A and B are shown apart, each in its own frame.
Chain A
């Protein structure tokens, strides 16, 4: 489902002393099969933006299009949109409410009005997709599970609707390093299965490693967009808006400043290692 946003502006509580502009003239497009990263500082409008992408925030007509359908137009079937654009909020484990894990994951499919056999099949698939053993957890109460497991169950609850686009808001927030790695592996797996993924984060390392394309939000506006390599070239400006670049990009830049021959577009630790080795080899070749 291609998503198209044309000049989106969002003001919270307009006409009150609490008026706040969350988004200002944001335009972007997301193509099928992409892995998109949205990065920004706290309060930069990331969460508001993704709420627009499946019609949870009301937009003006002619602004947000999902698969060509205008979400702002009256009479657009938002329920159908939410079925194809799955949204996992930050700390999704706090939304669990059912007596058992299976029932909770089935909440979405149930709302779609599917038959019992299909729902059961989807619950099982979704739980497997997030790396949980259906036989083991299905009948447990979601409140008995560990924090990481709860989050997986919540993600399964969205996956069970079988969306073609999945949006995740800070999926790794509050997880330990091992949990983060597992979470990113899981998301990569979902993307590999053909789902378009949009991931919100404030960690450049994470989005740099996973995403094809990035949008950097600052104070409700898109400051930079492009491939990670393109975005990370703006190191000092990213610093100025409270963001960072991956450690690899920093090291490469410092070596470049020190006069070493480092390519402009590397930021992954592995690539930087390779470039350093190439440099060392080159130096030793000169001696020979």
Chain B
């Protein structure tokens, strides 16, 4: 139950993508998301999908992982697909049973939405799978730094994010432990009606929250003890530096964008 959440899970590796500057990866992901919305035809989506699969293959991360990460949002994908399929009434009619009308336009829109969602999730997963949480927040902080001029708390937000990410696996483990302990006391999380199951979560959630607060307090103390006082004047041991690889990555992203736009123009299919 708790094992198929790959959010924030980092796979150590030494591929081209792993070694990229986190800022590059963040910007490239944002660019990729934009490109997914630029694509207007199947050829465009195919190109992006090929690119994403190529990236995934180059990192050495098994495709199984990316697919597993899709599971939690499968419902949303199917839901939007069905919604688009049934409620788009323009275009040539394909099927007509009772009040259900499926048009070629509807089918097209529905498939596009599903393809977009899948590509969005997979590409953002690729980011978290190849970037350690610390590098990720460092990258975010660096990218948002310019906004500090307008009092945007870039450092604080980055710190909050890194703490949150850092504690996801810890809290998962803890939830698993508490679940086992309550099961050992005869608790039943698997069967029963929805209400019964919701009630069965109370013995899990209360200790989990108590634990989270305890950990938060300990962490705050530990940070205090090491003289943490926010971002002002803080230096870092590892400075982020753009390198040759980052330029290559930027060029590749530009080529991808150009390719998708070209395919849109050509209107292949």
Contacts and interface: CB of A to CB of B under 8 A. Distances in A.
B207 A89 contact: no
Interface string B1-28: 0010000000100000000000000000
Contact of B183 (A56, A96, A157): A56
Interface stretch (A107-115, A131-139, A210-218): A107-115
Contact of A108 (B3, B65, B186): B186
Residues of A in contact with B, size category: 20 to 34
A143 B210 contact: yes
Contact of A82 (B3, B65, B184): B184
Interface string B172-187: 0010011011111111
B268 interface: no
A111 to B, nearest CB: 3
Interface in A46-97: 51, 54, 56, 79, 82-83, 86-89, 92, 94-97
A107 B181 contact: no
A199 to B, nearest CB: 16
B188 A92 contact: no
Interface residues of B, number: 21
Contacts of A123: none
B185 A107 contact: yes
Interface string B89-122: 0000000000000000000000000000000000
A161 B186 contact: yes
Given A97-B202, A97-B203, A97-B207, A89 B186 contact: no
Given A82-B186, A112-B186, A157-B185, A51 B11 contact: no
B211 A94 contact: yes
Contacts of A177: none
Contacts of A83: 186
Q: Is the interface of B mostly helix, strand, loop or mixed?
A: helix
B198 interface: no
B202 A111 contact: no
Nearest to B206: A97
A108 B182 CA distance: 8
A82 B183 contact: yes
Contacts of B183: 56, 82
Contacts of B174: 94
Given A17-B11, A56-B180, A95 B186 contact: no
B245 to A, nearest CB: 23
Given A17-B11, A97-B202, A97-B207, A51 B185 contact: no
B150 to A, nearest CB: 42
Contacts of B211: 94
B70 to A, nearest CB: 17
Contacts of A79: 186, 188
A286 to B, nearest CB: 59
Contact of A51 (B180, B182, B187, B188): B180
Interface in A97-143: 97-98, 107-108, 111-112, 143
A153 interface: no
Closest 3 CB pairs of A and B: A111-B186, A97-B206, A108-B185
14 contacts: A13-B3, A54-B184, A82-B186, A88-B184, A89-B181, A95-B181, A95-B207, A97-B202, A97-B203, A98-B206, A107-B186, A107-B187, A108-B185, A112-B186
Given A13-B3, A97-B207, A158-B184, 17 more contacts: A17-B11, A54-B184, A56-B184, A79-B186, A83-B186, A86-B184, A88-B184, A89-B177, A92-B181, A94-B174, A94-B210, A94-B211, A96-B207, A97-B203, A97-B210, A107-B187, A107-B203
Interface of A: 13, 16-17, 51, 54, 56, 79, 82-83, 86-89, 92, 94-98, 107-108, 111-112, 143, 157-158, 161
